Amino acid sequence: MKRFALFLAALGLLATPLVAQNRTTPSRVGFVDAEALIQGHPDFKKVQDVQAQARKELQPLEDKLKPLDQKVKTGTASAKEQQDYQTLLQTYQTALKKWQDRQAQALKPITEEIDQAIAKVAKAQGFSVVMSKQVAAQSGLVVYADDDTDLTQAVLKEIRK
């Protein structure tokens, strides 16, 4: 009798995953063009302004770094040029970090609003997963997606309300 009870218990444990896997839960996978959503956001101009300011500050530093970089790489830089290169490189890296942080600050509320809009549109249209088109394509994760799975335009409408 004990063997029979153990056998039933073991059989129950083995059958449990099969039952859980047989449940049918409708799921749809959608896609968005994340770059188009960011660029289509009403506040994207703020990000562009930060990028323009960054280019204005960083371009002169890059222009000074390029010739020194060539000399350092080829081994023809004098000791003073090497020191100037290191100082300029440090200045450039500090400025770059500052502008990356400012861009991230400008992008944060935009991406948060886009994420909320994606969730709202996905739920309304019955999608359980939404992926970035670019990431899905680059990774090879998705090889085909029907056009009706693209939620980009619906999400753009939502964020422009």
Residue 19 lies in a domain: no
- Cα 21 to Cα 14, 126, 127, 135: the distances in Å are 12, 21, 20, 28
Residue 11 lies in a domain: no
- In terms of pTM, does the model score above 0.85? no
CATH of the domain at 29: 3.30.910.20
Residue 32 contacts residue 153 (beta carbons within 8 Å): no
Residue 63 lies in a domain: yes
Burial class (CB in 10 A: 0-12, 13-18, 19+), 151: buried
Residue 15 lies in a domain: no
Residue 6 lies in a domain: no
Total number of domains in the chain = 1
Token readout for 81 is 């040029």
Query: Which tens digits make up the pLDDT trace of 88-142?
Result: 999 999 999 999 999 999 999 999 999 999 999 999 999 999 999 999 889 988 8
Range of the domain at 95: 25-159
